[in-house]
A and B are shown apart, each in its own frame.
Chain A
């Protein structure tokens, strides 16, 4: 993290040599999703509450509480990502067709438990804060 690249959210991007339709299946069909993410009861329906379940570890019961926020077939999928006590984030997966296949982009933006009532405002505040934070850390070294 440097102040020349002020990423306000965590972004992971990767080009994959497969069409968006195929990747979309892996993102949205529960059994396929379980093979690369975690056990889940996901359904591609806006408003659907579901959980991801991983092996519990110290300070974490292994459960991620989620709610589907947006579903645009073969293009974009977004869910709320809540980890008890640690905070809540929004995970957005975006698929863009390329000549070689698909560009997959994961964006995880955070907001804080105290602010969940004012979701939009909180997300703005948090993103802004992360931007500032990175500048601060850049200066501190």
Chain B
């Protein structure tokens, strides 16, 4: 597992961060103020969560005037998809081996 994947898993382990990320994915770009209103926690707390999401590259930001706007980068979810693909291949391979073993147990 790469360091980035580790960041993605950790970032999404927290329900508040998942909610922020899902909100950005669903509704598009938002300011920190708007995110704070929706999250129902303090702005410093939201900012802290955004730093962790940024580290995982799940969100990006841009400055416009005095506001910072955040948007989601759903493509950063790739590591999560990767594990499903990797384990899918793993289990199919193991089931092949299991069938071979069962065949041998007949004899």
Contact = CB atoms under 8 A, between A and B. Distances in A.
Nearest to B2: A59
A26 interface: yes
Which of the four size classes fits the interface of chain A?
35 or more
Interface stretch (B4-12, B28-36, B42-50, B61-69): B4-12
B56 to A, nearest CB: 12
Contact of A1 (B18, B81, B94): B81
B72 to A, nearest CB: 9
A104 B97 CA distance: 14
Interface residues of B, number: 33
Interface stretch (A43-51, A71-79, A109-117): A109-117
Contacts of B14: 114
A137 B6 CA distance: 20
A125 interface: yes
B87 A108 contact: yes
Contacts of A114: 10, 13-14
Interface in B81-107: 81, 83-84, 87-88, 91-92, 94-95, 97-102, 105
Interface of A: 1, 10, 12, 14, 16, 18, 22-23, 25-26, 32, 35-37, 59-60, 83, 85-87, 104, 106, 108, 110, 112-115, 125, 129-130, 132-133, 136-137, 140
Interface of B: 1-2, 5-6, 9-10, 12-15, 18, 22, 25, 74-75, 77, 80-81, 83-84, 87-88, 91-92, 94-95, 97-102, 105
19 contacts: A10-B88, A12-B88, A12-B91, A14-B95, A16-B102, A18-B102, A23-B102, A26-B101, A36-B94, A36-B97, A36-B101, A59-B2, A85-B1, A85-B6, A86-B6, A110-B83, A112-B10, A133-B77, A140-B75
